[in-house]
Chain A
């Protein structure tokens, strides 16, 4: 970890370290400000195939293909992207595939754009209805423990798991000028 970055800003590195520990080999993402540092860490890692998606639903197929081929994959998306995935999640449920999704939340805390609110308000419900376990992180001190647990639940416990990184965790750091 970079000691010049304060604790609250280190959560992307903490997640990256958990990806390394869990041997995640494919990471699918739609570009996102909140995930930008984690995305760059994955791009910089020659052992991780970084896959930029045109829409989040593509990532569900990527995860399925990776799993079928014996690799572990994770998806990074914003809360607005969760709604794009819903029908594709039937693949995860019907086949009992592990699936780890890390979601940067919008529309729930100090949000400036009302168009983010409708999807942000139902993100956790959507995941639960689709059969996911849902964890939520508000405090940067909890990122390591919760993301580590989510990796274990997904890849050892063969579950579909979503981690919601709250806007309180990410928002002020990313959007304050």
Chain B
């Protein structure tokens, strides 16, 4: 089992022009803790939407690399979006689920993954080209590389410890998050 902050920091190491959408709650704090960036679109609400924002971005910017980093509860609320992504087959989109098997923001109640619901299995059933369950430190480098080079859609479930880590709160104003993200997109290299 992995430490969530370490895992996200490793996944976002040398991130280059990777565009990141973070699901509400702990994943948003984890992504911010790995280093604030205008290329992070932090969600603070709209639970269940993260993967679909990734799809809209991936279709709009087919040469850019997009990573959605969210939690097991947020992914469960938008499970149908995996089927929608599977239909469109975006090669440049990766979904990372930080799976602590609990709803950390609301009091650590067990989530469906605690009962054996297999998200990687769902993603593979939905025609994700890559589906991986990561639980050890030595798997992280390969997972990080998938975000940059996988012929997606890729789904990576990262088993992390259910623990309270200090909150790292990024900007919360939706207009500001949007505007700086769009500026970052506009500055992407010509290859994107």
Query: Interface residues, chain A, CB within 8 Å of chain B?
Result: 25-26, 49, 51-55, 57-71, 73, 87-88, 90-91, 94-97
Enumerate chain B residues within 8 angstroms of A90, measured Cβ to Cβ: 45-46
A54 to chain B minimum Cβ distance, whole angstroms, is: 3
Interface pair B53/A68, CB less than 8 Å apart: yes
Question: Known interface pairs A91-B46, A96-B174. Does A51 touch B84 (Cβ–Cβ under 8 Å)?
Answer: yes
A159 to chain B minimum Cβ distance, whole angstroms, is: 14
Interface pair B80/A54, CB less than 8 Å apart: yes
Q: Mark B161-192, 1 if CB is under 8 A from A, else 0.
A: 00000000000001101100110011000000
Enumerate chain A residues within 8 angstroms of B55, measured Cβ to Cβ: 51, 61-62, 65
Enumerate chain B residues within 8 angstroms of A25, measured Cβ to Cβ: 60
Question: Known interface pairs A51-B88, A58-B81, A68-B185. Does A96 touch B56 (Cβ–Cβ under 8 Å)?
Answer: no
Interface pair B174/A95, CB less than 8 Å apart: yes
B152: interface (CB < 8 Å)? no
Interface pair A65/B45, CB less than 8 Å apart: no
How many chain B residues have a CB neighbour from A under 8 Å?
37
Interface pair A70/B185, CB less than 8 Å apart: yes
Enumerate chain B residues within 8 angstroms of A53, measured Cβ to Cβ: 80, 84
B103: interface (CB < 8 Å)? no
A51: contacting residue among B43, B45, B59, CB under 8 A: B59
The residue among A26, A66, A71, A97 with the most chain B CB atoms within 10 A of its own CB is A66
Chain B residue nearest to A93 (CB atoms) is B174
Interface pair A61/B50, CB less than 8 Å apart: yes
Question: Known interface pairs A58-B80, A64-B56, A65-B58. Does A52 touch B87 (Cβ–Cβ under 8 Å)?
Answer: yes
B151: interface (CB < 8 Å)? no
Q: A65–B93 Cα gap in the complex (Å)?
A: 12
Chain B residue nearest to A26 (CB atoms) is B59
Q: A73–B43 Cα gap in the complex (Å)?
A: 20
Enumerate chain A residues within 8 angstroms of B44, measured Cβ to Cβ: 94
B54: interface (CB < 8 Å)? yes
A and B contact pairs by CB, cutoff 8 A, 8 listed: A61-B46, A61-B55, A61-B56, A70-B61, A71-B56, A87-B45, A95-B174, A95-B178
Q: A19–B50 Cα gap in the complex (Å)?
A: 26
Interface pair B80/A64, CB less than 8 Å apart: no
Interface pair B182/A68, CB less than 8 Å apart: yes
Interface pair A94/B59, CB less than 8 Å apart: no
B48: interface (CB < 8 Å)? yes
Interface pair A26/B56, CB less than 8 Å apart: yes
B33: interface (CB < 8 Å)? no
Contact residues, B73-110 vs A (CB, 8 A): 78, 80-81, 83-84, 87-88
B156: interface (CB < 8 Å)? no
B9 to chain A minimum Cβ distance, whole angstroms, is: 24
Interface pair A91/B45, CB less than 8 Å apart: yes
Beyond A57-B48, A62-B53, A90-B46, list 7 extra A-B contacts (CB 8 Å).
A51-B55, A62-B52, A65-B53, A67-B178, A67-B182, A68-B178, A96-B178
